């Protein structure tokens, strides 16, 4: 068959190991998954109550327009209903953007390491890509500007960045957006925005009027604790949303996901409490790293990228045997580090003990 040439050198996404798989392999009774930045506090009570009482009709196609979720988000953010595009998770939003704007002959720019789906989707569309190395975990935005050519169609900015967790300071991001030509789409992936506590962040939605070429991506997968439902959204100018909407599959979000996301929006207090609890625990990781002289990137998210004294695959395997699924930095482009989702206080107590053992066995303590 005439597969796209580029698929030969690509690999499918490799998800982290499942809790069940690890329990079985290592004969453990309890395993904590800290590999994919899901919310350790679960989701809002309003969602659980709804799921226990739902009378949704499963034989009916979902509302392809996103039901009243669209209205709720437009009120929450003070934007037109036409400024919102729903994706089957931000993953799908990225593929919609790539399908709509990229092909052979076009060009996209992104950081490295960053969320791998930008490069992955751009390559499938046949676009050329420039991957700009981070500097101290930060996007090197001046270097992004230098890479812009007549072919550049999309720039992906992950803020805060995955896998480092770094937030771009407000003035750096705004002066970057000012310098990017208006015909280039700047995608701001804000998957972790709900966890940010640093006041020097960009309120991107307020920038939409001034910069119609930005598109803000958000998701219900992380802070909202709804990863399994696969629902995310993008906010942009109607002139950007309209063409993207032509590429979107008509019923890309199922009815349950749409309704559950609506319920989740009713409980902002849950998000506030998760932000607070997460920030407290994030501080503990900072202290732990400092006490043990380990490098830790300055995270504003619900994960940390922390140095390990041995090969990152080996360290991940060590923690796995102790019942913690973390992400090896080798696969993320950050060797000698592991990415750990910040769990609950109790989970972290046990994780730090396991980490202590790791350090002891390697003579660091
Ligand atoms: C998790 C993540 C996403 C994907 O979110 P989904 O909505 O679950 O597809 C997007 N961007 C970044 C940076 C992420 O870490």
Lowest mean pLDDT among 47-61, 211-225, 267-281: 47-61
The predicted pLDDT at position 13 comes to 84
For residue 364, name the pLDDT band (cuts at 50, 70, 90).
Answer: low
Q: Tell me the CB-side half-sphere exposure of residue 141, using CA atoms within 13 A.
A: 21
Q: Is the pLDDT score of 67 beyond 90? A: no
Cross-strand bridge partners of residue 337: 307
Q: Which H or E element spans position 216?
A: strand 214-219
Percent of the chain with pLDDT over 90: 91
Ligand 1 binding residues, C-beta < 6 A: 37, 89-91, 115, 158, 162, 189, 191, 219, 221-222, 227, 232
H and E: helices and strands count for the chain: 13, 12
Rounded mean pLDDT, 335-347: 97
| Structure token digits, residue 56 | 């949704």
Percent of the chain with pLDDT over 70: 99
| Structure token digits, residue 242 | 């309209």
Protein residue whose Cα sits closest to atom 14 of ligand 1: 191
Ligand 1, residues 33, 162, 167: which to mutate, most atoms within 8 A of Cβ?
Answer: 162
| Structure token digits, residue 78 | 């003070």
Q: Is the pLDDT score of 363 beyond 80? A: no
pLDDT for 103-120, tens place per residue? 999 999 999 999 999 999
The predicted pLDDT at position 362 comes to 75
Q: Is the pLDDT score of 333 beyond 70? A: yes
CA 187/CA 154 separation, integer angstroms: 7
Those residues with Cβ within 8 angstroms of residue 74's Cβ, 6 or more apart along the chain or in another chain: 80, 81, 83, 84
The predicted pLDDT at position 314 comes to 96
| Structure token digits, residue 77 | 């953010």
The predicted pLDDT at position 365 comes to 54
**Rounded distance from Cα 292 to ligand 1 centre (Å):** 31
Q: In ligand 1, which atom is closest to the CA atom of 115?
A: 13
Ligand 1, residues 191, 196, 216: which to mutate, most atoms within 8 A of Cβ?
Answer: 191
CA angle 348, 353, 357 (to 5 degrees): 140
For residue 226, name the pLDDT band (cuts at 50, 70, 90).
Answer: very high
**Rounded distance from Cα 363 to ligand 1 centre (Å):** 37
Ligand 1, residues 91, 95, 303: which to mutate, most atoms within 8 A of Cβ?
Answer: 91
CA 99/CA 92 separation, integer angstroms: 10
**Rounded distance from Cα 359 to ligand 1 centre (Å):** 31
CA 109/CA 96 separation, integer angstroms: 17
Rounded mean pLDDT, 182-193: 98
Cross-strand bridge partners of residue 324: 32
> Which of the pair, 51 or 280, is modelled with greater confidence?
280
Protein residue whose Cα sits closest to atom 12 of ligand 1: 191
Helix (H, G, I), strand (E, B) or coil at 218: strand
Contact yes or no for 329/38 (Cβ under 8 A):
no
Protein residue whose Cα sits closest to atom 5 of ligand 1: 90
In this prediction the pTM is 0.95
> Which of the pair, 364 or 32, is modelled with greater confidence?
32
């Amino acid at each position: 068959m005439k597969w796209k040439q580029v698929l030969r050198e690509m690999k499918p996404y490799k998800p982290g190991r499942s809790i069940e798989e690890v329990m079985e392999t290592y004969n453990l009774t309890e395993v904590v998954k800290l590999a994919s930045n899901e919310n350790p506090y679960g989701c809002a009570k309003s969602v659980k109550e709804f799921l226990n009482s739902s009378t949704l009709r499963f034989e009916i196609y979902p509302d392809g327009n996103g039901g009243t979720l669209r209205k709720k988000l437009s009120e929450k953010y003070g934007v037109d209903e036409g400024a919102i595009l729903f994706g089957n998770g931000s993953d799908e939003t990225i593929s919609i953007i790539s399908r709509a704007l990229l092909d052979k002959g076009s060009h996209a720019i992104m950081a490295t390491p960053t969320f791998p789906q930008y490069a992955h989707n751009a390559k499938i569309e046949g676009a050329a890509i420039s991957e700009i190395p981070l500097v101290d975990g930060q996007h090197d935005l001046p270097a992004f500007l230098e890479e812009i050519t007549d072919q550049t169609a999309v720039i992906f900015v992950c803020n805060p960045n995955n896998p480092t967790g770094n937030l771009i300071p407000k003035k750096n991001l705004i002066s970057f957006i000012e310098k990017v030509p208006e015909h280039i789409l700047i995608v701001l992936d804000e998957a972790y925005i709900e966890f940010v506590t640093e006041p020097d962040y960009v309120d991107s939605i307020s920038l939409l009027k001034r910069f119609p070429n930005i598109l803000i991506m958000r998701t219900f997968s992380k802070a909202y604790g709804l990863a399994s439902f696969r629902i995310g959204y993008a906010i942009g100018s109607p002139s950007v949303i309209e063409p993207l909407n032509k590429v979107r599959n008509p019923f890309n979000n199922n009815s349950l996901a749409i309704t559950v996301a609506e319920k989740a929006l009713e409980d902002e207090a849950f998000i506030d409490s998760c932000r607070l609890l997460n920030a407290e625990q994030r501080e503990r990781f900072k202290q732990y790293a400092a006490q043990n002289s380990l490098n830790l990137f300055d995270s504003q998210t619900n994960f940390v990228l922390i140095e390990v004294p041995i090969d990152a695959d080996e360290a991940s395997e060590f923690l796995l045997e102790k019942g913690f699924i973390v992400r090896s930095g080798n696969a993320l482009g950050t060797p000698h580090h592991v990415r750990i989702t910040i769990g609950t206080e109790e989970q972290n107590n046990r994780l730090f003990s396991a980490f202590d053992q790791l350090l002891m066995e390697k003579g660091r303590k």
